[in-house]
Amino acid sequence: TQLLEQSPQFLSIQEGENLTVYCNSSSVFSSLQWYRQEPGEGPVLLVTVVTGGEVKKLKRLTFQFGDARKDSSLHITAAQPGDTGLYLCAGETGANNLFFGTGTRLTVIP
Amino acid sequence: EAGVTQFPSHSVIEKGQTVTLRCDPISGHDNLYWYRRVMGKEIKFLLHFVKESKQDESGMPNNRFLAERTGGTYSTLKVQPAELEDSGVYFCASSPFRGSPLHFGNGTRLTVT
């Protein structure tokens, strides 16, 4: 079973601060996806990274896939209260099902 | 376009009863997936349909769970008989073709008492 561990599990920061969320595994993935989930809703895809070392930016969010395709990070610059939510990483092995991480619950305090 | 819809949004049943969850994927999406999150755990894959065929059901926990997708449109997931450990949130997702991003529904929260 592929296990994706996210850290930190919970994060509470002030508006304007920067933060990084990590997603680590001992398994290699063909791609890695980051989702954000709001209460009462399903996960919504933010980005997919495919190539080892790949960096993608989505406004204030920067996603990086590790060189060995086993880990990833999400960096948020100048966090806003609207960034509050549950962030999930998910790895795909090629069988077209996803292995989800344990999640990071982010709270941005105004 | 309408997103993935799941019904009911919440279900509370007693141990031993039967519950059927329904998922309507986005129109035209051949791929349909069921996932679930049980309390305190990560979201886990249950199974994958391509049209009406089960492509991968390796994540189904046991034979109390039965998923169908007759006609290749909506899907149902039946739990019979339900056990306490079946409580959790059941998500459905769909995609138009293999490898394309998944679109998730809002989930059905199942509570077995």
- Give the burial class of B74: count Cβ atoms within 10 A of its Cβ; 0-12 exposed, 13-18 middle, 19 or more buried: middle
Task: Report the mean per-residue pLDDT for chain A.
Answer: 94
- B2: confidence class by pLDDT, cuts 50, 70, 90: confident
Nearest to A37, CA basis, from A99, A94, A83, A92: A83
- Residues in A touching B105 (Cβ below 8 Å): 42
Q: What are phi and psi of A82, to 5 degrees?
A: -70, -10
Residue B71, CB-side half-sphere exposure with 13 Å CA sphere: 7
- A55: confidence class by pLDDT, cuts 50, 70, 90: very high
pLDDT of residue A95: 67
- Cβ(A90)–Cβ(A103) below 8 Å: no
> CB-based contact (8 Å) between B40 and chain A?
no
The shortest C-alpha distance from A11 to chain B (Å) reads: 17
Task: Report the mean per-residue pLDDT for chain B.
Answer: 95
- Residues in B touching A100 (Cβ below 8 Å): 35, 42-44
Round to whole Å and give the CA distance between B55 and B47.
Answer: 8
pLDDT of residue A3: 84
